[in-house]
Structure 1
Amino acid sequence: MLLYGASGHAKVIISCLRAQNVAINAIFDDDLSKNELWGIPVVGTYRAQQSPSLPLIISIGYNAIRKKVASTIQHRFGKVAHPTAIIDESVVWDEGTVIFHNTVIQADAYIGKHVIVNTAASIDHDCSIGDFVHIAPKATLCGNVRVGESTLIGAGTVVAPNLTIGKNCMIAAGSVITKNIPDNAIVRGNPARVIKIST
């Protein structure tokens, strides 16, 4: 496996890969001052000719940057779930996605491309998670929740059943979502309210 991004987020992905006995051959990073992470060589900026047969995971936590980087990659994308994650056999999860320690993803959920399902998050039945979403640690999505592309669901957030959260939203940590959220909204509170609509 190859990674793009030698960050703290990469460390958790490395933890998941090592728990699955997957070797990490190299890490790309645009910061040329970095030369290794946990003994894995950091080889500089992305090069399509580096180990072209290996899959790659973008190990960048920030949704917009992960999306931008994905459009430049010529390698096929890998994905990984930590062995402690409980993922129902009916769940579909797409390329580039990482599912971290002690998460639970229930029946007939769909997880898009390059999604981060972070530590101890819970995604219940029939949820649909768009590409480049980040579900932060201990966030809870009740059944049949839809989350649009590139949205951040902050740590400890609770989303009530049957709601839709738009694309490019930022849901602050600890929010309680009890109604649908439009695209490009910044949201916080209990109950959550829209603070701003970004342009």
Structure 2
Amino acid sequence: MYLFGGNGHCKVVVDIIKKSNEYPIEGIFDDNPKFNAIFDIPVFKTKTLDFFIDKQLIISIGNNEIRKKISKKIPALYVKAIHPNAIVSYDVKINEGTVIMAGAILNASVYIGKHCIVNTGAVIDHDCSINDFVHISPNASLAGNVVVGEGTQIGIGASVIQGIKIGKWVTVGAGTVIIDDVPDFAVIVGNPGKIIKYNSIENE
């Protein structure tokens, strides 16, 4: 398999794959490589996206918008990576391209979309639905029956009470406490969370 994107987030993805022993990583590609190798894996400059056709791939880039754009351009066989120290209920649905990091907890009947990141120590409780290209940051906690729209970033240490619906391409600030539904594109911070502005998203 291969990784696309060769910066800090990539290092964590490499660690997950190495510890799970599921796929040997043949190489990492980047449009503007900063390193010749990450750990013992060579980093190559991207020449043509056709190279990835019918190859196993994870987009190892933290930015949600960029992951979406690249996934539309590269017709690869996207795989997922789950750290062996994550706790994942038997009936959780995790879609292609998604990465689940160390210490994450995904409880019963959780749905995770494509190309998501569930970061270190994040908690997603029962019956939550996480749509494509979402990033749940380290130590963020979602109570049961929360819905998170496409492309949203839940900031580090944020908390979301049960039954909340968060729109698409929302930014939830670090440590924010969400007690009400959040509309599309909102940037929300504080305890309780307050909308301070709205995102402008090129993907839309």
Q: TM-score, normalised by structure 2?
A: 0.94
**Root-mean-square deviation (Å):** 1.3
Amino acid across the alignment from 2:8: G
Offset of 1:57 from its aligned partner? 0.1
Structure 2, unmatched stretches of 5+, are none
Amino acid across the alignment from 1:19: K
Structure 1's consecutive aligned runs of 4 or more residues displaced over 2 angstroms after TM superposition are 32-35, 46-54
What is the distance in 2 between the residues matched to 1:47 and 1:113?
23
Matches within 5 A, 1:1-199: 1-21=1-21, 22-45=23-46, 47-50=48-51, 52-199=53-200
Offset of 1:50 from its aligned partner? 3.7
Deviations 1:61-106 (A, max 9, x none): 0100111111111211011100000100110010000000010001
Offset of 1:35 from its aligned partner? 2.3
Offset of 1:54 from its aligned partner? 3.2
Structure 1, unmatched stretches of 5+, are none
Q: Indicate if the aligned counterparts of 1:115 and 1:134 stay in contact, CA closer than 8 A.
A: yes
Deviations 1:33-66 (A, max 9, x none): 5322112111111534547553100000010011
Q: Indicate if the aligned counterparts of 2:52 and 2:75 stay in contact, CA closer than 8 A.
A: no
Offset of 1:197 from its aligned partner? 2.2
Deviations 1:18-47 (A, max 9, x none): 001131101110114532211211111153
User: Could you say if the C-alpha distance between residues 74 and 46 of structure 1 is closer, same or farther in structure 2, counting changes exceeding 3 Å?
Assistant: farther
Q: Indicate if the aligned counterparts of 1:103 and 1:118 stay in contact, CA closer than 8 A.
A: yes
What is the distance in 2 between the residues matched to 1:26 and 1:51?
11
User: Could you say if the C-alpha distance between residues 51 and 133 of structure 1 is closer, same or farther in structure 2, counting changes exceeding 3 Å?
Assistant: closer
More off after superposition, 17-26 vs 133-142:
17-26
3-state SS of paired residue (1:71): helix
Offset of 1:143 from its aligned partner? 0.1
Give identity over the alignment, percent: 47
Q: TM-score, normalised by structure 1?
A: 0.96
Q: Indicate if the aligned counterparts of 1:28 and 1:46 stay in contact, CA closer than 8 A.
A: no
More off after superposition, 179-188 vs 22-31:
22-31
How many residues are paired up? 199
3-state SS of paired residue (2:66): helix
What is the distance in 2 between the residues matched to 1:80 and 1:106?
17
